[in-house]
Amino acid sequence: MTTVTPGTSAGSIADRLERLPNSRWHVRVRSLIGVVTFFEAFDQLLVSTALPVLTKQWHLTSGQATFAVTSGSVGMLAGAFAAGWLGDRIGRVRTVALGVAVTALASLALVFSPDLAFFAGLRFVQGIGIGGVVPVAATYISEIAKSRHRGRFVLLYELIFPAGLTSATLVASWVVPHWGWRAMFLIGAAPALVFAFLQRRVPESPRWLASRGRLSEAEQVISRIEQEVERATGRPLPDPDPAAAAEPTARGGLRDLFAGRYLRRTVVVAFLWFFGYFVNYGITAWLPTLYTKTFKLDLQTALDYNVVSNLAGLLGCLVVALVIDRVGRRPALVVGLAGAAVALLALAVSGTGSGGQVAVWASITSLFVYATNVSLYLYTPELYPTQSRALGASLGGVSNRLGVIVGPIVVGTIIGSGAGIATVFTVLGVVALAGALTALFAVETRGRTLEQLNS
């Protein structure tokens, strides 16, 4: 039985985490969570890669195609909120593992979809798993990172998400023409293989354990982590700095997120998530279909153009990961959304003459908007105390999913009305500009511990 060291508290546990140098232990844990995140991203984008084929195979109208896209997004919205509540009560790792199981089993069942209704229902279930995993996983990674270079540490992990999106388009560009859309969902069931392994090899967040008053377990976990880091670095750990982490004062719970200083944080970050993902999925969900229906490109070319846009987005994520600890969170968010707005409005004015022109401007947009959205996975958990950090991050996920739902619906409505694709990109550009203006009100969090930001 592990005893609690005299003086052990939530603050001292945070102090001990803050003193840990980055090591193989951090890389291993980040990689294991990263595998999960990769496949969650992969599964999230499968409907976009399958949609051009489904539209022909099931003779879908624009409204039905929109329904196929948004059914999963509605599930993600529900999953994000439920997982935030679970993550603050049963733990970060158990919640992530549960979401992985739901995602993988639903993906396997989707292979056997006979019609749109069955497909949409299973995409809703799969969305619950995806929506639950991503914000809670981001919360966990933030809680094991130290304040110095936390931006780079977290965002290098978060690169795995756009890498999963990009991989989905790369794999789809070969698999869908040769093996059909069902094979993609079979590949998407792969996370089932890591379900049990995740719970055995990834320790629970010591910060979360301490915040729940489970100091004995927190002591056991942090001691084991310290031993592994010492073995990995080959030298003794530095002494903790008591000034690095103040004792948390918030009680935790939904009410705290809308009281005092947290009200502004919650409102601003909710709008940022909504605007960022409205733009992201307004484009992503419909680009392959626009290429094939509006510009009469063949399926292979449409999927290849989609790959280029996602690769550009991945590049944007890498750039912001390398600079965000120097420039700060707020400037990164402002520049990301403003850059997307400029690219989209330029596309609306002069870039819709051919599929190739759209691909170029859409890729520039992806570079900026992917960088913005990946930064929000770092930024949101920083804004809230440990007792309600997963819930706060998941509220961001709820706003994210509202954007994911509303963006494709608005774009689908514009396309269905015959207003023209220039109108589509004008609307998306205005939304991105609104996001850039909102980011001016964001609180800067660079270089401060999670406890200092929330004490």
The predicted-structure confidence for 357-390, as pLDDT tens digits, reads as follows: 888 898 999 999 999 999 999 999 999 998 889 8
Instruction: Identify the pLDDT of residue 249.
Output: 52
Instruction: Identify the pLDDT of residue 245.
Output: 52
Over range 405-428, report the average pLDDT: 86
Q: How many residues does the chain have?
A: 455
Instruction: Identify the pLDDT of residue 1.
Output: 44
**More confident: 354 or 311:** 311
pLDDT over 50 (residue 288): yes
% residues pLDDT > 70 (the chain): 95
Residue whose pair of structure tokens reads 């996370």 in the numeric block: 191
Is-contact 153 140, C-beta < 8 A?
A: no
- Closest residue by Cα to residue 207 from 293, 274, 147: 147
pLDDT in tens, 209-231: 998 889 899 999 999 999 999 88
* Dihedral over Cα of 353, 356, 359, 365: its sign: negative
Over range 185-194, report the average pLDDT: 84
Among 63-72, 333-342, 351-360, the range of highest mean pLDDT: 333-342
Is-contact 243 11, C-beta < 8 A?
A: no
Q: How confident is the model at residue 4 (pLDDT cuts 50, 70, 90)?
A: low
Q: What is the 3-state secondary structure (H, E, C) of 26-82?
A: HHHHHHHHHHHHHHHHHHHCHHHHHHHHHHHHCCCCHHHHHHHHHHHHHHHHHHHHH
Q: What is the mean pLDDT of the chain?
A: 86
Q: How confident is the model at residue 338 (pLDDT cuts 50, 70, 90)?
A: very high
DSSP states of 10-30: HHHHHHHHHTPPP-HHHHHHH
pLDDT in tens, 268-277: 999 999 999 9
pLDDT in tens, 120-139: 999 999 989 888 888 898 89
Topology of 10-237+253-453 in CATH?
Growth Hormone; Chain: A; (1.20.1250)
% residues pLDDT > 90 (the chain): 33
Q: How far apart are CA 151 and CA 103, in angstroms?
A: 28
What letter represents residue 83's amino acid? A
Q: How confident is the model at residue 252 (pLDDT cuts 50, 70, 90)?
A: low
Read off the tokens for 228.
């592994």
Q: How far apart are CA 292 and CA 288, in angstroms?
A: 6
- CA 80 to chain CA centroid, Å, is 11
Over range 138-166, report the average pLDDT: 85
Instruction: Identify the pLDDT of residue 412.
Output: 84
Over range 451-455, report the average pLDDT: 82
Q: How far apart are CA 107 and CA 191, in angstroms?
A: 10
Task: Please state the domain extents for the chain.
Answer: 10-237+253-453
Is-contact 352 421, C-beta < 8 A?
A: yes
**More confident: 399 or 48:** 399
Over range 57-62, report the average pLDDT: 86
Instruction: Identify the pLDDT of residue 206.
Output: 93
pTM for the model: 0.83
Over range 167-184, report the average pLDDT: 84
Q: How far is CA 426 from CA 287, 342, 411, 413, in A?
A: 15, 10, 11, 14
Among 26-35, 60-69, 135-144, the range of highest mean pLDDT: 135-144
